[in-house]
Amino acid sequence: MNEFKIGQTFDGSYPPMAAVWCNMNEADLVFNEEENKFKIVSRDPEKNRIAEEEEAKLAEALNKKTTKKKKSTKTKKTSE
């Protein structure tokens, strides 16, 4: 079974089950022409705000993890 959530995006097109999920969960699929993406949005603005906050926290955590990896992969120069 497919799992969908508010804030989820799809490049170019979306799976048919996403539309079914939206109908069952009071949500809509909105198309962004500039990015050529569909996004699941709730008909309840509060749910959209919460989803955006969660996405921002996840992006921040991912960015911190990526930054730490970049720092740890630098090689130290050794004198011979």
- Residue 63, Cβ density class (10 Å: 0-12 exposed, 13-18 middle, ≥19 buried): exposed
Q: Which two tokens stand for residue 78?
A: 């050794």
State pTM to two decimals. Answer: 0.66
- Tell me the per-residue pLDDT of 60-70, one tens digit each, with 9 for 90 and over: 888 887 776 66
Is the Cβ–Cβ distance between 73 and 66 less than 8 Å?
no
Break the chain into its structural domains and give their ranges: 9-63
Report the pLDDT averaged over residues 1-21: 91
